[in-house]
A and B are shown apart, each in its own frame.
Chain A
Amino acid sequence: MPTHPDAVDASSSGLDLLVAMADHAPADGPLTSSRLAALTGRDRGLVARVVDDLVELGLVERDLSDRSLHLGWGLYTAVAQVVERRIITRGQPLLDQLALACGESAYLVRRRGGQSVTLAEAMPHVSVRGVSWLGRSVPVTRGDAGPVLAMDLSSAELRDVLGPGPLPATSGARAPRTREAFEREIATARANGVCLLVEQTEAGVASVGAPVRDFRSRLAGAIVVVGPSDRVESKSAPIIAAVRAAASQLSTDLGWRT
């Protein structure tokens, strides 16, 4: 009995075709369906029909002029939307767990221009605890994960973001007062992949922050645990480990790969 051409791919999802399209460099010339068939070792007729399906589903796009195939803006923007939702939906449960495990307040923050904005938060059930910061913003130099949020900026970009003049003052005895001092904090955060700020953002307060990245390797925000200096310092090692783990889990959920 002659087999239907589709029968051979019954167990396959077509991931190989999508990967071949993602890996194809423009310099290699236009990617046609017959080229795609050759690259994946699949039947030309089948690939041509699958490609029509994928274009109709919006997963793949065909160039109007040379009819070459590529993963297009439709897929990119849909995934960007997914990630923008997930940072909250997947971030919140991680913050809840983190606050419980550390016994301190946990926040998800993001840089917007020169500000650090709080996107989500979780409070532990203890008497001394943080106040709600949801939706509020502070200058990034005073943010609990400030150096982490600025870690992808070049010096020129940092200058643009911070603007001229001295940094805004804080009540913290060890607060960075100049851009150079803040840049040293950033360098430390880059080297460690995490920041531990003691008596910087506010007198009596310490924080541990780690970066969250997305499918584009873009810095999507930071997860940070904040509490009284003495308490955070006395358990800094487990807090650092927990913050790192939460940030790494959220990054994975957003499609980041090391």
Chain B
Amino acid sequence: MTAYTNIGRRLELVAGLLDHEATTGRGMGVVSVAARVEREKSQISRGLAALANEGLVGRDSDSLEFSVGPALLVLAAQAGEPELVRSALPVLERLGAVTGERVDLAVLHDRQVLTIESIASSSTVQSVGWVGRRTPVHCTAAGRVLLAAMPTSEVSALVGPSPLPPSGPNGPRSRAELMRRIDTARRDGWALADGELDGDVMAIAAPIVGADGGAIAAVMVSGPTFRMRSTVDAVVLAVRRAANDLSARQDGV
């Protein structure tokens, strides 16, 4: 087990509360926090009091449960690339209106594809569970276009050797097969994954290219294969247009 510094031990409590509230929507009592980090309750109480003082932790006056504090929310406003999401939002919204399907903005993060923004299709109300979703890089359309922008040596290091981790029915099984699909995506400037992650989901993605030529993020539209199959060509056009539109804005900033 890692020996954290004192500050690390304090902030371990914040990381625990953040993860818990992000996944359950609820705060935690002192006992639960102590159990989570495997430490004494008395020690935890002092740590939480100090964190509450700084605003990194909040406390509900009725339930007395601890939750993520205002100072952390303020910090998060500067995390990632706020300007990328802000400028992409209207473009993603328009893409959602045109295609009628879910639209995601995703980046490469910790060897996975991380959804950083998501516009729901017409039938769902909230986007809980989509932003923050992590999917494998080798069997998603977004992963494909992000890998296509990288040198082959880096791709190899990132995806590891064959056989690749299990995926949907049409996912690539070997590294060679993945490399062929990446080559296709590189040549076309977009990627289609049909049943690669989930059996009946089709996804189409294109990269947002930064001023240095690297892929900053991927724009992806996904929906049930039965619905998407008849509209593939139109969706590809719309996704590429949206991604190109956002790429063009990266030069000026």
Interface positions of A (Cβ within 8 A of B): 6, 9-15, 17-19, 22-23, 46, 49-50, 52-54, 56-59, 70-86, 88-89, 112-114, 117, 119, 135, 154, 157, 160-161, 215-218, 252, 254-255, 257
Q: Which chain B residues (1-57) contact chain A, with CB distance < 8 Å?
A: 2, 4-8, 10-12, 14-15, 18-19, 21-26, 50-51, 53-56
B70's contact among A52, A72, A117, A255, by CB below 8 Å, is which?
Answer: A255
Task: Name the one of B5, B54, B79, B120 contacting A79, with C-beta atoms under 8 angstroms.
Answer: B79
The reply to whether B5 and A6 contact each other, CB–CB distance below 8 Å, is yes
Given A18-B75, A113-B96: A53 and B5 within 8 A (CB)?
yes
Q: Please, which residues of chain B bring their CB within 8 A of the CB of A89?
A: 25-26
Contact partner of B22 (CB less than 8 A), chosen from A81, A154, A252, A257, is A81
Q: Are A54 and B11 CB-contacts (below 8 A) given A13-B56, A81-B22, A216-B77?
A: yes
Question: Does B71 sit at the interface, judged by CB under 8 A?
Answer: yes
B237 to chain A, nearest CB (A): 17
Say which residue of B19, B25, B50 sits within 8 Å of A78 (CB atoms). B19
Secondary structure type dominating chain A contacts? helix
B7 proximity list for chain A (CB < 8 A) = 6, 9, 12-14, 17, 50, 53
Contacts across chains A and B counted by CB atoms under 8 Å:
180
Q: Considering only CB atoms, which chain B residue lies closest to A156 in the complex?
A: B90
Contact B107 A255 (CB under 8 A): no
Complex interface: stretch among B125-133, B194-202, B224-232: B125-133
- Secondary structure class of chain B's binding surface, majority of residues: helix
Q: How far is the CB of B5 from chain A (nearest CB, A)?
A: 5
> With A74-B109, A215-B73 as given contacts, are A11 and B50 in contact (CB-CB < 8 Å)?
yes
B76 touches A76 (CB 8 A): yes
* Known A74-B109, A81-B131; 13 more pairs at CB < 8 Å: A12-B50, A14-B10, A54-B11, A56-B8, A59-B14, A73-B114, A75-B75, A78-B76, A78-B132, A85-B21, A86-B25, A88-B126, A257-B74
> In the complex, what residues of B have CB within 8 A of residue A58's CB?
15
Taking a contact as CB atoms closer than 8 A, the residue among B51, B53, B54, B90 that contacts A157 in the complex is B90
Chain B: minimal CB distance from A65 (Å): 10
How far, in whole Å, are A71 and B50 apart by their CA atoms in the complex? 22
Instruction: Please tell me which one of the listed residues B6, B55, B74, B115 contacts residue A215 in the complex, with CB atoms under 8 A apart.
Output: B74
CB neighbours (8 Å) of A50 from chain B are: 5, 7-8
B residues near A (Cβ < 8 Å) are 2, 4-8, 10-12, 14-15, 18-19, 21-26, 50-51, 53-56, 68, 70-80, 82, 85-86, 89-90, 93-94, 96-97, 107, 109-110, 114-116, 120, 122, 125-128, 131-132
- Determine the chain B residues whose CB is within 8 A of the CB of A218 once the complex forms: 89
Q: List 28 A-B contacts (CB under 8 A).
A: A6-B5, A12-B50, A14-B7, A14-B11, A15-B54, A15-B56, A22-B74, A53-B11, A54-B8, A54-B11, A57-B8, A57-B11, A57-B12, A58-B15, A59-B11, A76-B79, A77-B116, A77-B131, A78-B132, A80-B76, A84-B127, A84-B128, A157-B90, A157-B93, A160-B90, A160-B94, A161-B97, A216-B77
